[in-house]
Chain A
Amino acid sequence: MTTTQWLLGFHLVGAFLFVAGAIAVGILQSAAVRRGRPSEIAFLLGLVRAAVPVVGLGALLALGFGASLVHRSGFRWDDAWVSASLALWIASVVLGGIGGRSSRHARYLAERLAADGDRPSRELQQALTSPVAQALNYGSLLAALAILALMIWRPGA
């Protein structure tokens, strides 16, 4: 196998961990939203923490091996699809990071409510279904999917 094939293989593994990890986070968060008791919600949101490092590792692997591929394959950083992918990678990571903070605050609130009677709370449901947090999380995922589209169609290449 050539070096480029190895780089491409690990680049895609990184991309898989990045996007699949984000999808796993979404699955676990949506399971938490469907529960009523704060203790169950806090427990499921705690599980999200196991998937977050997968997203981070995938993002770094995809970027690192992708940068090596640009260097080895004759592509240029100022090619439109390459620079757009990099901008979308930054947007995806930043939006996901800010959206993740909202989820973390919802978990802290759920933990407080669980210790204080464990009764369903409208405030907690509002924190979990906050339109701003959802927009940030969906924006992060859409940016990652836009990168996938750019990698496949390579407009301008």
Chain B
Amino acid sequence: MSTLLFLHVLVAMMLAGALIAAAAAAAAARGRADERGDLLRALVRRASVGALVATIAAIGLGEGLAADENATGSWLDASRGLAVFGLLLGSAFLMLVAVLARSRPRLRGPLAAIALALVLIALATAFVMAAKPS
């Protein structure tokens, strides 16, 4: 159980790290149409792929942990909702927008806002899982 919990938290921290890097790069790329803007958006794309992979791993480890502990409660449902509808779909959306922004400049604007929103969702998920409000 403890090993699963350690890996679950570790992967979730890697997910949040990838999202923070994506948010920092996307914020610095705002309004830049030059070579450095392209460099930063390439970094956002790579970080968003990492975030998506880490989200899938964190959800898998979390489900394994929940099954192992027979965990139930509204906090678990809330954190599942945040993880699946916020982080999983959000990371996929961030990756999609980052890829499409290569050919559609008007999509470059929202990248930073999406990445920052995902960082906040990741922190909210961590809060719910630690505090377990029920």
Contacts and interface: CB of A to CB of B under 8 A. Distances in A.
A23 B17 contact: yes
Contacts of A28: 21, 24-25, 43
Given A9-B127, A12-B129, A28-B21, A50 B13 contact: no
Given A19-B13, A27-B21, A9 B6 contact: no
Interface residues of B, number: 35
Interface string B108-134: 000000000000001100111111110
B13 A24 contact: no
A152 B130 contact: no
Interface residues on A, range: 35 or more
Nearest to A20: B16
Contact of A1 (B15, B36, B131): B131
Nearest to A23: B17
Interface string A1-40: 1000110111111011101111110111001000100001
Interface of B: 2, 5-6, 9-10, 12-21, 24-25, 27-28, 36, 39-40, 43, 47, 50, 122-123, 126-133
